[in-house]
Amino acid sequence: MRRSPILSTLLAPILLAFVSTGLVSRARATDPDEQISVTRTIPDNGPFAPGELIFFEDFNIVNFSLWQPIITMSGCGSGEFQIYDKNPENIFVKDSILHIQPTLTADKYGEDFLYDGNLVLKGCTDPLYNGCNKTATGDGFILNPVISARLRTQFAFSFLYGRVEARAKLPAGDWIWPAIWMNPTKSKYGSWPQSGEVDIMESRGNRFLFDGKWVNVGNKQASATLHFGPNRQEDKWRTTAGYKNNYLGYDQDFHLFQYEWTPEQMTFSIDNEVLKVISPPKDGGMYKWGGFKGHNIWENATNPQVAPFDQFFYFIINVAVGGQRGYFNENHVNIPFDNVKPWKNSDTLEQAMLDFWNAKDKWYPTWEGTSAMQLDYIKVWAI
C-alpha cells in the first residue's frame, strides 16, 4: 500500500522530505511487508528555507509506514545476540514516548525452545547468517536469547545536509547497546565503510563499566562518530569521535543528541555542548582527514570535501544486546567484579550467545525497569 507524500510538523504520520542544497525531493512511504528495492522520489517540493523544520517525528503512534522494522536474527554484522522483530512488547508508545524494550526470548517461546526450537521469522528482512530461519541443536547452539527492535526510515525519509536533534532517555542494564544513527540510502562509493555511516548516539547500558583509566564508558557516557574509509580495516572512526560523560547516567533524564551537517563540515553535540567538529580540508576532504594513503576513492564525488557524506542518509534507531565486534571490549572492567563480560569476542557467535545466556542471573537483574530506550522526538531543520 502506498500513501501520498505528506509533510507535517505536528501530526503523525510524518512522511519524508529529502533535503539538499537547492533541491528538495520526497519519497512515498511504503508498507514494511512490501518488498521494495529502491526509493522512488518526487522532485516537486522545495527548496526549504534555512532554519525551516522539515521533519518532526513526535512518536504519537508507532508508524510502521515511516519506521520500517528490521526483522532478523543475523547479528547485523556485529555478532549481536538479539532477535530483531516488531512485537508490541518490544516497540510501543506510552505517553507519546516511543519505547524500544529488549525482552527475553524464553519469555515469549519458553526456555526449552532456546535449546531445541526452530524459529522462522515472518517478514524477515535479512537472511544472512541464518537471519530468517534458525534451529537450535542443544547446549552448543541455542537461539538468540533476547528479542529487541531496530527501525529505519530507508524507504520513507532521507535527507542531505541539515540539523538533527533527537531527544531521548537511554537504557540502563548490563550489555545493552542503544543507538541513533544514519546510513546512506544508496551505497554510491561502495560497501561499508566506503559510503559512510553517521553515529549520532551510541552508549552502553552498564552502570559501572570502566576503561583502563577508570573512566566510566557505560551508561554514564554517550558518544558520536563517523565511520568512513577505503575498506573495513581502515575505518578511521576514531578521528571523528566525540564523547560526553554525565555523572548521573543517561538513563536518569532525557537528553538532546544533535548533529549538524553542512557541505563543509559535520558537528556532533549533546545538550547543546559541542563534542566534535569535523572540518575536512577543501583539498583532499575526508580522505586527507583520515590520513589515508594512495588513491582517493572520493576525489570525483559530488562534494569531494565531505564525501562520502555528500549523499542522502536515513535514520536508524535500535537497541542491541551484546556483540562480538569489540564495542564491549575485553579490557573493560565491569563492577561488581563477579559480573564480568561473560563471553569472548574471539568465540563463535553460537558460543558467545550461550555463555551470555548462562550468565543471565548476573546481568538480567540489572535490566529491571530501566532497559528501554525512550524517544521523545526527532527533528530535522534545513540549513
Residues belonging to the active site = 197, 202
Are the C-beta atoms of residues 15 and 5 closer than 8 Å to each other? yes
Question: Which residues 6+ apart lie within 8 Å of 23 measured at CB?
Answer: 43, 46, 47
The CA distance from 189 to 86, in Å, is 31
356 grid coordinates: 551470555
Q: Where are the beta strands (DSSP E) in 170-248?
A: 176-184, 197-203, 209-210, 221-227, 242-245
Give me the amino acid identity at 273. E
Coil/strand/helix, residue 350: helix
Distance from chain centroid for Cα 90: 16
**What pairs with residue 269 in β-bridges?**
258, 274
Q: Which one, of 78, 99, 76, lies nearest residue 89 by Cα? A: 99
Are the C-beta atoms of residues 81 and 360 closer than 8 Å to each other? no
Residue 77 φ/ψ region, left for φ over 0, alpha for ψ in the -120 to 50 degree band, beta for the rest: left
Residue with cell 502506498: 2
231 grid coordinates: 575498506
Distance from chain centroid for Cα 353: 21
CB atoms within 10 A of CB 186: 11
Question: Which residues 6+ apart lie within 8 Å of 146 measured at CB?
Answer: 81, 82, 83, 102, 103, 104, 105, 321, 322
Are the C-beta atoms of residues 300 and 287 closer than 8 Å to each other? no
Are the C-beta atoms of residues 84 and 148 closer than 8 Å to each other? yes
Is residue 105 within a helix (H) or strand (E), and if so which, with residue range? helix 105-109
Distance from chain centroid for Cα 210: 23
Question: Which residues 6+ apart lie within 8 Å of 368 measured at CB?
Answer: none
